Amino acid sequence: MEYEVVIGLEVHAELSTKTKIYCGCSTEFGGDPNTHCCPVCTGMPGALPVLNEKVVEYAVRAGLATNCEIARESKQDRKNYYYPDTPRAYQISQYDLPLCAHGHVEIAVGNTEKEVGITRIHIEDDAGKLVHDGYTGGTLVDFNRAGVPLIEIVSEPDMRSAEEAVAYVEKLKGILEYIGVSDCKMQEGSLRADVNLSLRPVGSEKFGTRTETKNLNSFRAIARAIEFEIARQKEILDAGGIVYQETRRWDDETGEGYATRNKEEAHDYRYFPEPDLMPIRLSEEYIQDIKNSLPELPESRKNRYVNEIGLPEYDADIITSSKYLSDFFEAATDICKNAKAVSNWIMTDIIRIAKEKGIEYNELPFSAENLSRLIMLIDKGIISSAIAKKVFNEMAESGENPEIIVKEKGLIQISDEGAIKEVVDKIIAANPQSVADYKAGKDRALGFLVGQCMKEMKGKGNPQILNKLILEYLNN
Amino acid sequence: MITREDIKHIADLSMLNLSEDEIVKYTENMKEIVSFANTINEVDTKNATESAFALDTYNVFRKDEVKESFNREILLSNAPSTNGEAFSLPGMMN
Ligand SMILES: [Zn+2]
């Protein structure tokens, strides 16, 4: 049978506040176990939580940037569950009055654009970390992450494929980075997603039974876990079986998902209003101030790149998906005034280098200034594009100023007609057959001759002049 | 009305193994607690605004300023078992 895939995501993002959500402990990543802790974040009896005002501000920023309505009146609730990473035996979250609701973002997959609805965004605290103790076989608990503020962004079940789900998370990541509320470092777990997925026969209105695969912390894991779960549910349904509503985990090493034991998910959270924390009331003025302080968002930058600069939509989409890349693009364009060239370098070599090295764009070793220097060397005819590729690779290793690379390696383009003519004469004399071929109408012979000359000049010949001189000879 | 099934369910959520005697005892205890809490239902709230809080207080916030964390030794001193750096539990993983 043909099925339609229905996917909704819950994305958790750690907010980049200096301190935890309810106490003054630092949120800094790393640190010796239990050194960023106090009675509040380790759940000691009688400790009183006090809400960090930045958490509210950041959540409202995220809500406004994703077209949400902001609640004028909101509160926090206890979500009760018993697990050793949660020292109070409850998480403080928001139940019926989240800070933000009814938003949406635009995503693009291939040439199709669609809107993904955002049901709600609420604030909550992160849990501690359980570490297996190889020594005793026991479990060690580190509460450094306990109490780090999170926003949970819950989507509508609007996605229909792994590609759409990944595009959605990429879009959210871009937005959160732009507005500076989360560093979104997926490998440190500061952005992670739970995938709700079900299948239904094509044409059916009714949703199938969904499963929830929790805690995916890379785009690759999200895509693979979704493909796995689609195949698993399809096989069950095709065999006439029943998909059970269950919580699942993804093992990135084996490439398989598995159901968590039933006991662990006997969830009955018994939410009730958190009596230690007073309600949140936001004024029109407060919300308007945050709205005014939002930077230009990826969507708007993208439109500007397409309409004002003339970049292809796809390129504009890729560049604006990362704040770093987009800032890099603007800074380099500002200097060299050649937006198309900057965009081409980003779309080809910069993306390639980041992939090859397995690094984030902000870890690239060279600056926007150095890329624009490279582009200006080409634009002024000092180096050829072929040589520029070599200089780029060099720059991607050392981060060195391309002007210095070119000087040190003697890569300056030869534009002197006399010098080029010498080479042309030599190559033509050595290849009478190619000359005859060209005159007999075989255009390919021209490319061969140009290539031979370039080789002789170690790639440094000015290609326009070289072409001109060879053609002058051949057409006489 | 609290039943023994409610007590077993709550015990499950809290990961507690209760004996048959304990189930009987806690069912009775819980009945008393709930009936005491029910006293509040007798108050006439026809003209009261709905609220989850007794005080009309809101926006109690803290500035995002780092304070020194607690001494780890003191934090861990309440725990029945530690390795000197972390709280130590029976094996939860695998
Ligand atoms: Zn703390």
B65 interfaces chain A, CB cutoff of 8 Å: yes
- Nearest residue of chain A to residue B66 (CA atoms): A24
pLDDT of residue A463: 85
- A222 and A303 part of one domain: no
Domain stops at, among A408, A442, A458: A408
Cα gap A372→A328, rounded to integer Å = 10
- A243 and A275 part of one domain: yes
Instruction: Name which of A18-22, A23-27, A189-193 the model is least confident about.
Output: A189-193
A405 interfaces chain B, CB cutoff of 8 Å: no
B9 interfaces chain A, CB cutoff of 8 Å: yes
A291 pLDDT band, cuts 50/70/90, is very high
Q: What are phi and psi of A372, to 5 degrees?
A: -70, -30
In chain B, % of residues over pLDDT 90? 62
Residue-wise pLDDT tens digits, A41-74: 999 999 999 999 999 999 999 999 999 999 999 9
pLDDT of residue A380: 87
A386 pLDDT band, cuts 50/70/90, is confident
**Helix, strand, or coil here: A119?**
strand
Judge whether residue A435 has pLDDT over 60: yes
- A243 and A306 part of one domain: no
- A333 and A390 part of one domain: yes
- A260 and A351 part of one domain: no
Domain count for chain A: 3
pLDDT of residue B93: 64
* Domains present along chain B, CATH in parentheses: 4-41 (1.10.20)
CATH code of the domain covering residue A428: 1.10.10.410
DSSP for residue A440: T
pLDDT of residue A134: 84
Residue-wise pLDDT tens digits, B10-55: 898 888 899 999 999 999 999 999 999 899 888 888 888 777 787 8
B36 interfaces chain A, CB cutoff of 8 Å: no
Where does residue A158 rank: exposed (0-12), middle (13-18), buried (19+ CB within 10 A)? buried
Beta bridge partners of A108: A113
> What average pLDDT is seen over chain A?
92
- A74 and A172 part of one domain: yes
Give residue A368's domain range: 296-408
Predicted interface score ipTM higher than 0.90: no
- Nearest residue of chain A to residue B93 (CA atoms): A132
- A217 and A353 part of one domain: no
- A443 and A356 part of one domain: no
- A209 and A258 part of one domain: yes
Centre a 10 Å sphere on the Cβ of residue A112 and count the other Cβ atoms it contains. 8
Domain stops at, among A264, A289, A314: A289
- A404 and A467 part of one domain: no
Beta bridge partners of A121: A100, A153
Tokens of A34: 């239990």
- A107 and A227 part of one domain: yes
Judge whether residue A420 has pLDDT over 60: yes
- A33 and A182 part of one domain: yes
* Residue B13 to residue A142, Cβ atoms within 8 A: no
Measure B25 CA to nearest chain A CA, in Å: 23
Opening angle at CA B57, ends B52 and B62, nearest 5: 110
Domain stops at, among A289, A320, A353: A289
pLDDT of residue B52: 79
pLDDT of residue A344: 95
A265 pLDDT band, cuts 50/70/90, is low
- Whole-number Å distance, alpha carbon B1 to ligand 1 midpoint, is 40
Tokens of A45: 């009896």
Instruction: Name which of A215-219, A269-273, A326-330, A439-443 the model is least confident about.
Output: A439-443
pLDDT of residue B54: 79
